[in-house]
Amino acid sequence: MIIGILGAGQLARMLALAGKPLGLKFIFLDPTPESCAADLGKHLIGDYTDKALLTQFAAEADIITYEFENVPVEIIHFLAESTPVYPPEKALAVSQDRITEKQFCRNLGIPTAAFATVSSLADLEQAMTSIGYPAILKTRRFGYDGKGQVVLRKAQDLADAWDAVQNAPCVVESFVPFDREVSIIASRSVSGHTVYYPLSENTHEKGILRLAKNTLRDPLQAQAEQMINTLLTALDYVGTIALELFAVDDQLIVNEFAPRVHNSGHWTIEGSETSQFENHLRAIIDWPLGATNSIGYAAMQNFIGGVPSSNKLLSLSQVHLHLYDKAARKGRKIAHATARTDSLENFTDLIALLTELAKQSDDS
């Protein structure tokens, strides 16, 4: 069976690495010639809007999926006329616009931060009278890893913030005073069978994920599963999904969801019975899904802009290194390492070591 993936970055690479043992073959469509998944399958190089290339891609793939959520919905629509595409178009459309996404969650009874639509500086000034400080102004579309976001601390910040987003349609939302940031990842198959991963506890800096670690028996697990199940059902979802949440006391508040495999689930490769990547493939093919229980403690550290030497990392015998075969560039995720162990004490030490090593090589 041939799986087509739009995008050939590290997520596509990890999907292909998970699919090879299952006998799957891959075709990627990505405009960048030196894409890091390219040597794991056939690579069609060209623009995502090239109809002839899309037609060839759809003809060669048995099932199509994507590794990033900024794929234009029209492209998914076009491909789906001839070949099944998962996750479904609706999930992509909802997640691409922060306002639509928040409204969708609200309508399902899933809590979000207070928010308002902003199309002008006057809108922003008006909205801030009810949202209150601090708050965050975010572009509605094409924002990721904290890009297209400005923190608002006082009324004097508004004009500069509006300049910074360059008149793009925005959402302004209240700053959530969270105790923790967590995410829940789930996979749902074509037949509707759903599995949930243990909550991941995530640390971000400058809006970028740095560290994600599994939780064992988190008190908020049931609440998160209920939320994501509501979302999966409403979207008639197929594939792996990630829901990013803020934990405030014993309440979860949705930040956003990603209709794809997610950086906060990379620890599932070594830390779970079945990884998020393998379950995504099993879900879209409609094969039975694998168990999602954790195998001990697991934490993933991202390496951004630079990576410590392999020798140094691999001298930690419970650390597993994933180099993405991407050129180092400031602010670019180029590798991650996962620590996996059965001892909590050892876990804490390994996280501290990885964090320190990442700081030394970080160039973000």
Choice between 244 and 278, CB closer to ligand AMP: 244
End-to-end CA distance of the chain: 39
When asked if residue 48 is in the footprint of ligand AMP (CB under 6 A), the reply is: no
Note whether 187 and 194 are within 8 A (CB). yes
* Residue among 90 and 204 whose Cβ is closer to ligand AMP: 204
Stretch that binds ligand AMP, among 42-50, 61-69, 172-180, 272-280 (CB under 6 A): 172-180
CB of 126 to ligand AMP, least distance (A): 19
Which one of the spans 33-41, 175-183, 334-342, 356-364 is the region binding ligand AMP (CB under 6 A)? 175-183
Take residue 110 and report the two structure tokens written for it: 């899933």
| By the rule CB under 6 A, 313 interacts with ligand AMP | no
Question: Which residue number, 152 or 232, has a Cβ lying nearer to ligand AMP?
Answer: 152
68 makes contact with ligand AMP (CB under 6 A): no
Check binding of 25 to ligand AMP (CB under 6 A).
no
Among 169, 207, 290, 306, binds ligand AMP (CB under 6 A): 207
204 scored as a contact of ligand AMP (CB under 6 A): yes
d(CA 168, CA 151): 16
Applying CB under 6 A, which of residues 136, 235, 238, 285 lies at the interface with ligand AMP?
136
Q: If binding is defined by CB under 6 A, does position 271 make contact with ligand AMP? A: no
201 binds ligand AMP (CB under 6 A): no
Phi-psi region of 239 (alpha: psi -120 to 50; beta: other; left: phi over 0): left
Q: With beta carbons less than 8 A apart as the criterion, state whether 143 and 98 touch.
A: yes
Indicate whether 173 belongs to the interface with ligand AMP (CB under 6 A).
Answer: yes
- Cβ-proximal residue to ligand AMP, closest one: 176
**Complex with ligand AMP: residue 64 or 105, whichever CB lies closer:** 105
5, HSE (Cβ side, Cα atoms, 13 Å): 33
Write each residue from 97 to 116 as x if it is in contact with ligand AMP (CB under 6 A), else as -, in one continuous string: ----------------x---
The correct pick among 69, 256, 270, 362 for binding ligand AMP (CB under 6 A) is 256
Burial classification of residue 137, based on how many CB atoms lie within 10 Å of its CB (0-12 exposed, 13-18 middle, 19 or more buried): buried
Contact residues toward ligand AMP (CB under 6 A) are: 113, 136, 143, 146, 173, 175-176, 181, 204, 207, 244, 255-256
